[in-house]
């Protein structure tokens, strides 16, 4: 069985992550992992069932399970998300497969369909179960977060039920019925998060939010549209974190740095994903423009050396990123997105070994 030689540790994961959010020196860089199902299974073979512990991951999430009635019906040969109603089909490829979004239920929909579309009731979540998990993780010393990359994720989550083209057009035109649903869904998410944080007060360390705002080469929406239709929603979530004295970090795929000043203004403390090959997303650009004002999580490209290179090339790339980011502090070592199924396990091991070897302060 493979093994990661971990850096010497003098603090808990919780202390390490909170100090990083505060731009303070830690024993080593905090470490995050996310990957697809098949790469997870291969890492379990290589490192054991608790492979994320073996990698040195510092974070654990807490959510309130949905306990209400089924809101959506899945068509034949399809799966349907129980909280948003997105429809998925299974697509196989040479290294496995994935559930791909399709058959968008509100594509070309009339006003009545938007107004009648079901949204989960915040009463129908088990906040007590969330508290039990949060207490346990907190006592174990983990850095515990609530939320996730889908909170509120206006473009992606609504694109999955309206179709991306319809979603962007509705945002641009301010279609009344579509915007009613977009705001209704965000309000419900916010209330669930608020109740969760209230129930788990003292056991949650930071809030994870999400919004994909860029393609690889440019913003996905204009700055004017962001200010009008999206920033007000993001502000509600950021202000919730601030009101509770909690840091917040927002998942931002693609070329998204154009919106970072706005995120700073509303109180977001960090940005996640960070695809270094996208426009204005290199580590040099991010530290030069936002260093000391935002935390950064990501930058190890899931489309780069970790897929196409040798372990030695992966190590060199990770070391280069760490050499740039560590002097600014506020850096969380992580892949730029979910590690894909076609990634060699030996390269994943090289990536995380580099974090322990070269991520020491």
All domains of the chain, ordered by start, with CATH? 13-72+120-358 (3.20.20.210)
Contacts of 148 (CB under 8 A, 6+ apart): 61, 63, 208, 210, 251
Q: Is the peptide bond before 152 cis (omega within 30 degrees of 0)?
A: yes
pLDDT of residue 326: 97
Q: 225 falls in which pLDDT band (50, 70, 90)? A: very high
CA 265 centroid distance within chain: 20
Q: Is residue 290's pLDDT more than 80?
A: yes
Q: 328 falls in which pLDDT band (50, 70, 90)? A: very high
Q: For residues 356 and 149, give the distance between their C-alpha atoms in angstroms, rounded to a whole number.
A: 26
98 vs 209: which has the higher pLDDT: 209
| R_g of the chain computed on alpha carbons | 20
Q: Is residue 98's pLDDT more than 90?
A: no
Q: 96 falls in which pLDDT band (50, 70, 90)? A: confident
Q: 136 falls in which pLDDT band (50, 70, 90)? A: very high
Q: 89 falls in which pLDDT band (50, 70, 90)? A: very high
Residue length of the chain: 361
pLDDT of residue 283: 98
The arithmetic mean of pLDDT across residues 233-254, rounded, is 97
Q: DSSP for 303-343?
A: TTHHHHS-HHHHHHHHHHHHHHHGGG--EEEEESSPBPTTS
Q: 271 falls in which pLDDT band (50, 70, 90)? A: very high
Q: 1 falls in which pLDDT band (50, 70, 90)? A: confident
The arithmetic mean of pLDDT across residues 236-252, rounded, is 98
Q: For residues 278 and 260, give the distance between their C-alpha atoms in angstroms, rounded to a whole number.
A: 15
pLDDT of residue 93: 86
SS3 of 101-140: the string is EECCCCCCCCHHHHHHCCCCCCCCECHHHHHHHHHHHHHC
Q: For residues 181 and 177, give the distance between their C-alpha atoms in angstroms, rounded to a whole number.
A: 7
Q: For residues 21 and 24, give the distance between their C-alpha atoms in angstroms, rounded to a whole number.
A: 8
Instruction: For residue 148, count CB atoms less than 10 angstroms from its CB and return exposed for 0-12, middle for 13-18, buried for 19 or more.
Output: middle
Q: What is the pLDDT of residues 41-71, one digit of tens each?
A: 999 999 999 999 999 999 999 999 999 999 9
The arithmetic mean of pLDDT across residues 31-46, rounded, is 96
Q: 94 falls in which pLDDT band (50, 70, 90)? A: confident
H-assigned helices in the chain: 13-21, 37-47, 51-55, 111-116, 127-139, 154-162, 164-173, 176-199, 223-225, 231-243, 260-266, 283-290, 305-308, 311-325, 345-358
């Amino acid at each position: 069985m493979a093994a990661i030689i971990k850096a010497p540790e003098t603090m808990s994961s919780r202390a390490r992550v909170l100090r990083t959010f505060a731009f303070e020196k830690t024993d080593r860089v905090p470490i995050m992992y996310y990957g697809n199902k098949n790469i997870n299974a291969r890492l379990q073979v290589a490192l054991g069932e608790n492979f994320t512990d073996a990698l040195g991951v510092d974070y654990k999430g807490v959510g309130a399970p949905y306990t209400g009635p089924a809101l959506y019906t899945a068509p034949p040969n399809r799966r349907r998300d129980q909280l948003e109603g997105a429809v998925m089909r299974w697509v196989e490829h040479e290294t496995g497969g994935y559930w791909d979004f399709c058959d968008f239920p509100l594509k070309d929909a009339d006003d009545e369909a938007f107004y009648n579309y079901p949204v989960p009731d915040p009463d129908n979540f088990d906040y007590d179960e969330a508290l039990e998990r949060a207490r346990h993780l907190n006592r174990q010393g983990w850095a515990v977060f609530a939320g996730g990359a889908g909170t509120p994720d206006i473009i992606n989550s609504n694109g999955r039920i309206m179709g991306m083209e319809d979603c962007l057009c509705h945002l641009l035109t301010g279609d009344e019925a579509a915007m009613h649903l977009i705001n209704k869904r965000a309000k419900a998410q916010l209330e669930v998060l608020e109740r969760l944080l209230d129930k788990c007060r003292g056991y949650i360390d930071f809030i994870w939010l999400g919004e994909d705002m860029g393609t690889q080469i440019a913003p996905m929406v204009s700055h004017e549209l962001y200010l009008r239709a999206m920033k007000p929603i993001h502000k509600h979530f950021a202000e919730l974190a601030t009101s509770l004295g909690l840091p917040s970090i927002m998942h931002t795929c693609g070329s998204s740095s154009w919106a970072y000043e706005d995120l700073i203004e509303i109180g977001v403390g960090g940005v996640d994903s960070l695809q270094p090959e996208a426009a204005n997303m290199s580590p040099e650009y991010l530290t030069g423009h936002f260093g000391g004002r935002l935390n950064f999580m990501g930058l190890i490209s899931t489309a780069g050396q970790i897929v196409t290179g040798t372990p030695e090339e992966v190590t060199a790339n990770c070391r280069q990123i760490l050499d740039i980011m560590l002097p600014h502090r506020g850096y969380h070592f992580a892949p730029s997105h979910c590690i894909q199924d076609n990634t060699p396990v030996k390269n994943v091991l090289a990536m995380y070994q580099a974090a322990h070897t070269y991520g020491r302060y």
